[in-house]
A and B are shown apart, each in its own frame.
Chain A
């Protein structure tokens, strides 16, 4: 495994003044607090990772069953179980300080005030590069998707979060809307520095023997390769609608998958579900992007962003 000294400068990208050694970021909810991967990959080679959604206070999450596999993907209804923003600042950040990677703190609340409270706590933490506002989680009854479905509510929260934040603000969009470009424009007008998309798509799986939903929550968020074409299309739509950097998310498991998003308009990408079935996938994607640059004589991957012909 390579160490932090061999980062390929061709892969470096920048988002809101933050330099990422490469565009490969572990997606929130699939990367824990980063440390869980320390034995499996070289965190110093990672472009960055987004933490599990952090709320002002710890959350227990939904009752089990919480996940079910589907064809080409999985449904989850974890319900944002997390240790809370304060514990992240005090217990996890000091352990992460030894790694040279960009830490994006994903933030969640059940009301605008709770989002702001979490951001205020995280402002005390050292080593956080940016915040990612989770306005798109489909697995909680309040907050999350309710805000994410309304351009007005999303813009209002973005404005408040931007004011409260001491760091660049990424807003993570829900795909569960009629027109994602309208939402993206509202959020950018409200001050978002960057948009990440897409979060999971609301889905359902039923046990035909018990005639009950397979998830205790009923519905869940669909992720994995099955949603990738939808995500690529939405990144393309949003790239044409706004003028801030985008982070593409949705079923990425290879360098080719990542390149689709970059060509569609993403500056960086996040890898989610693939981390579960291949914990070293981020390293493979970085290696694959380097190989692509070599074989196509690409001087910098930045030149590929939004290069769809």
Chain B
């Protein structure tokens, strides 16, 4: 974990509301697939808190990119960072995607919307190691698919199924439908599913994983104060023996952000309630 002031090399719009920020770091930072950073423009107190963004790509140990959707005050402030601008960064944070285990292991990666940012490095790794992988990529529409890095994913050469809510690109429908069809088609007894996307999507992915007896890991997000475990603001409810009606909690920042899907109490949404 390194606290640093990085320099923005570029910060460009990929599609309306979706941007790619590339930072140059002053020192080597080893980042594993699925990890994240806490970022905010340097010396700005509006907003006050840094924002958690998944590391999208590592170009070199000193040069990394973040794919992000401009959603609120924090990401709006990041969107205003110009080339050469200074960004306060704390990284790398969180755990990483666990390896698929077992002979004849097959992998399905489910990327929902901007959740694609968390799985790109995982897909790079899978593509380079030759693991039998299916990539299911879901977005609201053609522009959002482009904004969520579709071309980068395509360039990896993995078998890819694309869904859009409005049918403007790929199949019309939700990516969870594609997941069910994929599991039905292949009858994969030893599939490992890796998913990142909206809570409601991952909740459904977790249900499908149970139905098909597949291992499933999800990368979660939650409002974070610090990103390194002290504020306890980003918790999710987990299915361990607890002392109140909500069970026990785990911190998304330091206990995750990646969790086994079956460990999560999906009825307790950490963002909406």
Task: Please give me the residue from chain A that is nearest to B1 by CB atom.
Answer: A39
Query: A110 CB to closest chain B CB, in angstroms?
Result: 13
* In the complex, B200 has a CB within 8 A of chain A: no
Q: Kindly identify, within residues 63 to 118 of chain A, every residue whose CB is under 8 Å from any CB belonging to chain B.
A: 63-69, 71-74, 76, 78, 81
Residues on A with beta carbons closer than 8 Å to the beta carbon of B198: none
For B76-103 the 0/1 string (1 means CB < 8 A from A) is: 0000000000001010000000000000
B236 and A64 contact, CB distance less than 8 A: yes
Which secondary structure characterizes the binding site on chain A? loop
Q: Contact at A276–B270, with CB atoms within 8 Å?
A: no
The smallest C-beta distance from A256 to any residue of chain B, in angstroms, reads 14
Q: B29 an interface residue at 8 Å Cβ cutoff?
A: no
Interface: B189 (CB within 8 A): no
Contact check, A210 vs B231: say whether CB atoms are below 8 A apart.
no
Q: Which size bracket describes the interface of A in this complex? A: 35 or more
Interchain CB contact under 8 A, B272 and A81: no
Is A270 at the interface (CB under 8 A from chain B)? Answer: no
Are A277 and B40 neighbours in the complex by a CB distance under 8 Å? yes
Contact between B231 and A30, CB atoms less than 8 A apart: yes
B210 at the interface (CB under 8 A from A): no
Q: In the complex, are the beta carbons of B223 and A60 less than 8 A apart?
A: no
Residues of A within 8 Å of B73, CB to CB, are 69
Q: Is the CB of B246 within 8 A of A276?
A: no
Asked if B243 is at the interface of the complex by the 8 Å CB criterion, the answer is yes
If the complex has contacts A32-B230, A61-B232, A63-B246, are A278 and B273 also in contact, measured as CB distance less than 8 A? no
CB within 8 Å of B: which of A33-63?
A: 36-37, 39-40, 52, 57-61, 63
Tell me if B121 is interfacial: C-beta within 8 Å of chain A. no
Instruction: Name which residue of chain A comes closest to B45, CB basis.
Output: A225
Given contacts A58-B243, A60-B249, A276-B226, contact A76 B233 (CB under 8 A): yes
Whether A74 touches B1, Cβ cut-off 8 Å, given contacts A64-B270, A65-B273, A81-B232, is no
Q: Is A7 an interface residue (CB 8 A)?
A: no
Within 8 A of B (CB), among A12-41: 29-32, 36-37, 39-40
A212 sits at the interface (CB 8 A):
yes
Cross-chain contact of A71 among B46, B234, B269, B272 (Cβ < 8 A):
B46
Pick from A29, A36, A59, A273: contact of B229, CB under 8 Å: A36
Q: Which residues of the partner chain B approach A40 to less than 8 Å between Cβ atoms? A: 1, 3, 228
Residue of B nearest to A62 (CB): B246
B: residues with CB less than 8 A from A are 1, 3, 40, 45-50, 73-74, 88, 90, 222-226, 228-237, 242-244, 246-249, 268-273
11 of the cross-chain contacts (CB-CB < 8 Å) are: A59-B243, A63-B273, A64-B269, A66-B233, A67-B224, A67-B234, A74-B49, A78-B233, A81-B235, A276-B231, A279-B228
